[in-house]
Chains A and B, each alone.
Chain A
Amino acid sequence: MHLTPTDLLIIASYVVFVLGIGVLLKERVAHSSDFFLAGRSIPAWVAGLAFLSANLGAQEMIGMAASGAKYGMLTSHFYWVGAIPAMVFVGIFMMPFYYGSRARSVPEYLKLRFDEKTRAFNALTFATMTVFSSGISMYAMGALLRLLLGWNIHASIVVSAVVVLGYIALGGLRSAIYNEVVQFFLIVFGFVPLVWLGLRDIGGWSGLASRVPDTYLRSWQYIGSAQANPMGIEWFGMVMGLGFVLSFGYWCTDFLVVQRAMAADSMNAARRTPLIAAVPKMLFPFIVILPGILALGLTLQPNPGAAPILQQNPGGGYDYNMALPMMIGRYYPSGLLGLGITALLASFMSGMAGNVTAFNTVWTYDIYQSYLVPRATDAHYLWVGRATTVVGVAISVATAYVAMRFNNIMDMLQLVFSFVNAPLFATFLLGMFWRRTTGHGAFSGLIAGTLAAALHYEVTAVAAASSLVGKVAVLHTYPSDMAQNFWGAIWAWTSCFIVTIAVSVITRPRPSGELAGLVYSLTPRIADDRLVWYKRPAALGLVVSVLTVALNLLFW
């Protein structure tokens, strides 16, 4: 791809713009709560769009288009099953405890509800995980820009790190949130023309349907058995593993997204944050997955005189990861190209910024203030937050270089993190809705769930794939790694659920008086029936659910 001065102007003005926002917002940062929680003053629509964007890194954009080309509309399950139900649940049922308890982070909620060790376990694993994943995405960005534009990978990493560092150290979480909203608009305006042009080229929906097999345009019809669809997963593993365990575990407990809602300006706004995010989220498959399916259609049966979009891999099969970049290269003239690249850059940078802001808060409040220097002034913690931004970005850059040299180490790390994450939702579910749950129960449940996930990985294999680590014994072979991943999550969740209950029953519960505002049965219901319907979380949740079901039926 070749960038003209117009494209470079568009990219450069974006960089100046985000730094400018940081500079302007610096004046708003007087206390540590301004820096870490944006002073709890973000309006619902801003928090909602940031909630959505924080999750939408560029790796996801590229990956979803790749998955669209590889699996077709089955990929929509990552949105309509693997996100929306959990977003509705966290908004209606869990936000009252996150926001109402005045906890400043998810680990801090665990401390209030359970005990110190449960918080420490969650804070330490989360902090490590976020800073590593920010490094991994930094490397992915550098590699992509080198491939597409021939940019120097070191320069890409350093420049993006400095920009992110600049706007977060200045404006804190508010700066990160504002830039996430800007990213949302850039992605929509940067990629909608791609779908428009792609559909026009292929002859509309009917043209697409005539060029790809029917399995690629259906989300449910071929998921009765793992053999009938290209993903190699059957409906039960998909709904329980992805739709329940992994999705609820991510959207309901991951501080990266929950932090956006905690920054909202009222309880009502906090509860509506995930629900507002759910509306664009359910439409995103048309922006991020459809370009991949279009790329496949234009590859299987190219238009007369046109080259196929996807290249053949030397080892066989198509190079799916290039689906989105190849589509951009095919249709975007100079100008629009600058906008598309800016949208990708914005999602890389705000993905990184999301990780860094979450890391900042957990490190400063849950580790530094809790265990290292407990009784310092607020100004001191604000200073530590800014310093942590520098350290967090530095570790990310270091991680990016490790990822560049030793790909296996990063794959290992991500594997271990997936073991830790899998059982989390069981802990939160029991903690919020069963008042008898104890700290010992929660902690042993988390450990048991993590071990169960590791054990499951050790005794199962994936057909026709090599494993990262040696297996103890292979008791079961899954048709795809996705199936292995989903089923591992189901085992982890179930182990955590059972062990937490068992240990809670034999340990001493906390007195009810201490749990008000933290547990469902001991917290007064929120009366919102006098608000207009679109300000009532339950009504909004119902609308979102009905629309999601309708989309599933439409693409059944």
Chain B
Amino acid sequence: MGPRDKVEKVTDLRLPLGLLLSFYGVILIATGAIQGTRVLGINVNLWWGFVLLLVGAAMLYLARRARSL
């Protein structure tokens, strides 16, 4: 992979964005699973972590699909 390919890869914003959101998702899931803090009876970290991970993964999938076309 030449330097230009590397550049094209990051130019698709969905890739870094997907990485960041998935990373935050994983952190929240871990925090929720370990600490288990409940707010109004909900383990918000856990649930919201799943949402973030889902959105992050969807972005990564879209970025990957666009690149392999």
Q: Is the interface of A mostly helix, strand, loop or mixed?
A: helix
Q: Are A17 and B20 in contact (CB under 8 A)?
A: yes
CB closest residue in chain A, given B4: A27
Say yes or no for A21: interface residue by CB 8 A criterion. yes
> In the docked arrangement, what's the CA distance between A6 and B11, Å?
30
Binding site for B on A (CB under 8 A): 6, 9-10, 13-14, 17, 20-21, 24-25, 27-28, 46, 178, 181-182, 185, 189, 193, 197, 200-201, 331-336, 339
Contact partners of A193 in chain B: CB under 8 A? 44, 48
B40: min CB distance to chain A, Å? 5
B11 contact from A17, A28, A181, A331, Cβ within 8 A: A28
Q: How far is the CA of A193 from the CA of B28 in the complex (A)?
A: 13
Closest 6 CB pairs of A and B: A335-B31, A333-B37, A335-B45, A24-B10, A27-B7, A335-B28
Q: Is the CB of B44 within 8 A of A333?
A: yes
The answer to whether B3 and A6 touch across the interface, beta carbons within 8 angstroms, is no
Minimum CB–CB distance from B66 to chain A (whole Å) comes to 10
Contacts of B7 in A (CB 8 A): 24, 27-28
Q: Which residues of B contact A182 (CB under 8 A)?
A: 16-17, 20
Across the interface, do B45 and A336 meet the contact criterion of CB distance under 8 Å? Answer: yes
Whole-angstrom distance between the alpha carbons of A402 and B39 in the complex?
Answer: 42
Using A200-B40, A333-B45, A336-B48 as known contacts, say yes or no to A185 and B21 having CB atoms under 8 A apart.
Answer: yes
Given A24-B10, A178-B13, A193-B48; A10-B27 close (CB under 8 Å):
yes
Docked complex Cα distance between A181 and B42 (Å): 29
Across the interface, which residues of A come within 8 angstroms of B37, CB to CB?
Answer: 333-335
Cα A24 to Cα B8 with chains together (Å): 10
Q: Which residues of A contact B27 (CB under 8 A)?
A: 6, 9-10, 335
Beta-carbon contact of A339 and B35 below 8 Å: no
Residues of A near B11 (CB, < 8 A) are 25, 28
13 A-B contact pairs sorted by A residue (CB < 8 Å): A6-B27, A6-B31, A13-B20, A17-B16, A25-B10, A25-B11, A46-B13, A193-B44, A200-B42, A335-B45, A336-B28, A336-B44, A336-B48
Known contacts: A13-B23, A27-B3, A27-B7. The answer to whether A197 contacts B17 by CB under 8 A is no
Specify which chain A residues have a CB less than 8 angstroms from the CB of B39 in the assembled complex: 197, 331-333
The interface residues of chain A lying within 8 Å CB-to-CB of B3 are 27
Nearest chain A residue, comparing its CB with the CB of B17: A182
Q: Which residues of B contact A28 (CB under 8 A)?
A: 7, 11
Identity of the chain B residue whose Cβ is nearest the Cβ of A49 in the assembled complex: B13
Query: In the assembly, what is the distance between CA of A332 and CA of B48, in Å?
Result: 12
How far is it, in angstroms, between the C-alpha of A151 and the C-alpha of B31 when the chains are bound?
Answer: 24
| Cross-chain contact B16 with A333 (CB below 8 angstroms) | no
| Min CB gap B46→A, angstroms | 9
* A20–B10 CA distance with the chains assembled, in angstroms: 10
Task: Assess whether A181 is in contact with B10, with CB atoms less than 8 Å apart.
Answer: no
- Taken together as a complex, chains A and B put the C-alpha atoms of A6 and B26 apart, in Å, by 12
Partner of B24 from the list A178, A201, A339 (CB cut-off 8 Å) is A339
Chain A residue nearest to B19 (CB atoms) is A17
Chain A residue with Cβ nearest B49:
A335
Instruction: Write out the residue numbers on chain A whose beta carbons fall within 8 Å of the beta carbon of B35.
Output: 333-335
* Residues on B with beta carbons closer than 8 Å to the beta carbon of A24: 7, 10, 16
Also in contact, A201 and B40, with CB within 8 A (given A13-B23, A25-B10, A336-B45): yes
Q: Name the residue among A10, A13, A17, A189 with the largest chain B CB count within 10 angstroms.
A: A189
Instruction: For A50, give the chain B residue with the smallest CB separation.
Output: B13
Q: B57 — which chain A residues lie within 8 A by C-beta?
A: none
Q: Tell me the chain B residues, 22-69 only, with Cβ under 8 Å from chain A.
A: 23-24, 27-28, 31-32, 35, 37, 39-40, 42, 44-45, 48-49, 51-52, 55
Given contacts A10-B24, A21-B16, A197-B40, 7 further A-B contacts (CB under 8 A): A10-B27, A14-B20, A24-B10, A28-B11, A189-B52, A333-B35, A336-B48
Q: Which residues of A contact B48 (CB under 8 A)?
A: 189, 193, 336, 339
How far, in angstroms, from A21 to B19 measured CA to CA in the complex? Answer: 12
- Chain A residues in 8 Å Cβ range of B20: 13-14, 17, 182
In Å, the complex CA distance between A332 and B21 comes to 18
Residues of B within 8 A of A9 (CB): 27
Chain A residues positioned under 8 Å from B17 (CB to CB): 181-182, 185
When distances are taken between beta carbons in the complex, the residues of chain A under 8 Å from B13 are: 46, 178, 181
- CB contacts (< 8 Å) of A181 on chain B: these are 13, 17
Q: How far is the CA of A341 from the CA of B49 in the complex (A)?
A: 16
What's the Cα separation between A339 and B52 when bound, in Å?
11
Q: Which residue of A lies closest to B37 (CB)?
A: A333
Contacts of B21 in A (CB 8 A): 185, 189
In angstroms, Cα B26 to Cα A176, docked, is 26
Give every chain A residue within 8 A of B55 (Cβ-Cβ). Answer: 185, 189
Q: Given A193-B44, A197-B40, A331-B39 in contact, is the A339-B28 Cβ separation under 8 Å? A: yes
In the complex, chain B residues whose CB is within 8 Å of the CB of A333: 35, 37, 39, 44-45
Nearest A-chain residue to B51, judged by Cβ:
A189
Q: How far is the CA of A331 from the CA of B28 in the complex (A)?
A: 15
A21 to B51, CA, bound (A): 24
A47 to chain B minimum Cβ distance, whole angstroms, is 11
List of B residues within 8 angstroms of A197 by Cβ: 39-40, 42, 44
Please measure, in the bound complex, the distance between the C-alpha atom of A333 and the C-alpha atom of B7, giving whole angstroms: 38
CB closest chain-B residue, reference A26? B7
In the bound assembly, the distance between CA atoms of A339 and B51 in angstroms comes to 13
Q: Closest CB of chain B to A194's CB: distance in Å? A: 10
Instruction: Give the CA-CA distance A339 to B24 in the complex, in Å.
Output: 8
Q: Which of B7, B45, B49 has the most CB of A within 10 A?
A: B45
B57 to chain A, nearest CB (A): 14
Nearest-Cβ distance from residue A40 to partner chain B, whole angstroms: 14
Residues of A within 8 A of B42 (CB): 197, 200
Give the shortest distance, in Å, between A311 (CB) and chain B (any CB).
Answer: 21
